[in-house]
Structure 1
Amino acid sequence: MGLLDLCEKYFNTSNLYEVLNISEKATEKEVKKAYHKLSLKVHPDRVAENEKLEATEKFKVLGSIHAILNDKNKRAVYDETKSVDDDDYNVIIDRDWTIYWRMLFKKITLEDIQSYEKQYVGSEEEKKDLKVAYLAGKGDMDYICDQVQFARSEHEPRLREIINEMIKAGDIPSYKIFTHEPANKRQRRIAKENCEAKEAEELLQEIGGNNSLEKMIKDKQAARSQQMDSFFDNLAKKYGGKTTKANKRKTTSKSESNTKKKK
């Protein structure tokens, strides 16, 4: 099966740009950003065991798409013909895409996360993500806070104001679970966040003399690799920007992906 067939199978389109949700005029930087965002969602190390096989195939397809669109000559041929040389594809598909991925994306530090939070909060990207999460969760703030980056409790009044403005403008429907959320539901959400924040700080303190979150994860991987992976994803998204005693030490955050060698 060729690359375009696999795109259709896994992403419901044979257009490489549509898979990455970018325009044909996208810059090299925009292509890389789109590839990064989508590949994180299907990375084999970030999905349940029963989803790993399909995720691995999707990860290969995305890597192949980036390899084509990142190559000026291959991209020019694709733009003109809307076809891919499957002989060429059969060669690049055998790459170790996890190594390719690691070469493209650097490790993320706590300073990087804090800087990104400043850019993200209040941006159009945040508003777009908020709208998507609101619609997907049908107004459930628990779901929204889990899906939107940096959506901690102190941001809720601001996020609710943005959502209310979109409701008034008719951009999104009004859901009762959002407009009349029970007080105890919000209290449970805050209690859960406080618990997660405490655990995050304890773990960061634990690695105070150990420069890498990634090394710590590897040390504990045999016991609970998937749980740790998921936890640190949430840590980076939700608590990486918070100032804690542990954050005052210069520590390096986990790489955006704990990748494994291709089996």
Structure 2
Amino acid sequence: MGLLDRCKELFKTSNLYEVLGINKEATEAEIRRSYYKVSLKVHPDRAPEDPLATEKFQVLGKLYAVLSDKEQRVVYDEQGVVDEESDVLSEDRCWEDYWRLLFPKITVQDILEFEKKYKGSDEERQDLIQLYMQHEGDMDAITASALCCSQEDEPRLCSIIQAAIKSGEVKEFPAFTQETDKKKRARRKRADRERQEAEEMQKEMGLGDEDDSLVMMLQQRQKSREQNFNSFLSDLEAKYSKPSGKSQKSKRGKK
């Protein structure tokens, strides 16, 4: 059975883009990020209750291999077919190894280094503006979704948004410009409570250095805001994962 038929059987659609929840115009980065998030849901280790998890995971690997290969993607986009005999869909490939090559595990040090480069960068600003527009100025949703964001960052983030509004770059949303003091206090109180709980957990476990403190912060964030925490790691892994396709093949061939 070919890839398109397997997609139809396992994901109820033979459209490769629909399986990933994206459209045909998606960028390479968007395809990679969507592949990561969808494949994570059916990873055999994470979805043991799904008897078809392994098959779905393998099919998603093949799907991504096609869409991440420029020549294969052009053929699929123009003709709606997949070259089942291509090296891209090699049957002897270990799709678990392929996935881990693309998405190596994120360590505490990786997060620390990313945070150092990300904060204050143009990338952070662009992401923040996008979140502002997406959530129509709701700072609760913005701060919950922003990468590497803590209560201490809020004044800085607000100033970035205010400057963008003043320059006409983005529209003015009442949820942001007219946010009540009561809502701001509630957000601060919630952040203080999360920080206090993390500190208590840290003391109970006898942790003290910076890396351990970060681990505790992340564990507490996972406990209190699991969806956003997982989204943070997903975005980080997918955004800074190794490129795939022919470039990887050529590198291996040179060894």
* Matched-pair contact (CA < 8 Å) for 2:131–2:146: yes
Q: Deviations over 1:102-155 (max 9, x none)?
A: 343333222221110111111222112111211121101000001111221211
Number of aligned residue pairs: 205
Q: CA 1:95/1:5 → structure 2, altered by over 3 Å: closer, same or farther?
A: farther
- Aligned match of 2:15: 5
In the TM superposition, what is the alpha-carbon distance from 1:189 to its structure 2 partner? 1.0
Percentage of pairs with the same residue: 33
Q: CA 1:235/1:9 → structure 2, altered by over 3 Å: closer, same or farther?
A: closer
- Aligned match of 2:215: none
Q: Quick one: distance in 2 between partners of 1:155 and 1:65?
A: 39
Taking structure 2 as the reference length, the TM-score comes to 0.59
Q: Which letter maps to 2:34? A: L
Q: CA 1:181/1:78 → structure 2, altered by over 3 Å: closer, same or farther?
A: closer
Task: Name structure 2 gaps, 5 residues minimum.
Answer: 8-13, 213-221, 239-255
Pick the aligned partner of 1:37 from 33, 45, 56: 33
Q: Which letter maps to 1:44? A: K
Q: Quick one: distance in 2 between partners of 1:103 and 1:199?
A: 36
When the two chains are superposed, the root-mean-square deviation of aligned CA atoms in Å is: 4.6
In the TM superposition, what is the alpha-carbon distance from 1:191 to its structure 2 partner? 1.7
3-state SS of paired residue (1:138):
coil
- Aligned match of 2:192: 194
- Aligned match of 1:137: 135
Q: Deviations over 1:195-233 (max 9, x none)?
A: 223334455563859xxx9xxxxxxxxxxxxx7596496
Q: CA 1:136/1:194 → structure 2, altered by over 3 Å: closer, same or farther?
A: same
Q: Quick one: distance in 2 between partners of 1:190 and 1:153?
A: 7
Task: Name structure 1 gaps, 5 residues minimum.
Answer: 23-30, 214-226, 239-254, 258-263
Superposition pairs for residues 39-188 of structure 1, below 5 Å?
A: 39-42=35-38, 43-44=40-41, 63-68=61-66, 75-79=70-74, 82=77, 84-86=82-84, 100-188=98-186
Superposition pairs for residues 250-261 of structure 1, below 5 Å?
A: none
Moved more, 154-163 or 195-204: 195-204
Which of the pair has the greater relative contact order for Cα pairs under 8 Å at 6+ separation?
A: 1
The structure having more radius of gyration, on CA atoms, is 2
* Matched-pair contact (CA < 8 Å) for 2:65–2:88: no
